């Protein structure tokens, strides 16, 4: 059975008013497609996932940051790396974050970035949240034993269904 990570780990689907309060609190307007993402409580991805950071480096989402913790995460990141306009929304393996650029004055407003926790470097991943989610590979594997021969089979049916739901959200 495939284990999933919910986009709304605390089960809270924020209202327009709550999103407006968050925007006021962090003094940045959230991109419309990201608001749609936040308000879609049914979306989830397999726990076993991977996304490309560079030709030689991959990342893995381990947890989505709950809506109620987004402001705290924003200010923690702003203090730690001394920049604003970047909102982390997912924790990744080894301490990195997947973030969205929320600086409206930036030409990369709404773009998805990987924040390297050791250097503070921001690496471009995709133009929007849904473009990024369509690039995430689902690596859920199961080991089967066939007469003493172990084989690893990648399950793709779940991944296809999830990708289709993202495309429909676009």
- For residue range 70-106, list pLDDT tens digits in order: 999 999 999 999 888 999 999 998 899 999 999 999 9
Q: Which domain holds residue 28?
A: 4-169
* Residues ≥6 apart with Cβ < 8 Å to 130: 33, 37, 166, 169, 170
- What total of structural domains would you count in the chain? 1
Count of other CB atoms within 10 angstroms of residue 73: 19
> What CATH number does the domain containing 36 carry?
3.40.1580.10
Cβ proximity of 98 and 62 under 8 Å: no
- For residue range 118-162, list pLDDT tens digits in order: 999 999 999 999 899 888 888 754 433 434 443 344 444 554 555
């Amino acid at each position: 059975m495939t284990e999933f990570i919910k986009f709304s780990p605390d089960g809270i689907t924020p209202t327009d008013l709550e999103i407006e309060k968050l925007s006021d609190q962090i003094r940045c307007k959230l991109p419309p497609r990201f608001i749609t993402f936040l308000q879609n409580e049914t979306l989830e991805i397999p726990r076993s996932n991977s996304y490309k950071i560079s030709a030689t480096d991959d990342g893995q989402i381990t947890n989505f940051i709950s809506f109620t913790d987004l402001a705290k995460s924003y200010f923690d990141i702003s203090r730690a790396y001394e920049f604003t306009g970047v909102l982390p929304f997912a924790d990744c393996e080894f301490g990195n974050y997947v973030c969205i650029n929320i600086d409206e004055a930036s030409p990369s407003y709404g773009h998805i970035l990987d924040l390297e926790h050791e250097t503070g470097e921001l690496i471009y991943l995709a133009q929007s949240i849904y473009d990024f989610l369509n690039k995430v590979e689902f690596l859920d594997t199961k080991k089967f034993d066939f007469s003493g021969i172990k084989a690893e089979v990648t399950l793709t049916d779940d991944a296809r269904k999830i990708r289709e739901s993202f495309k429909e959200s676009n």
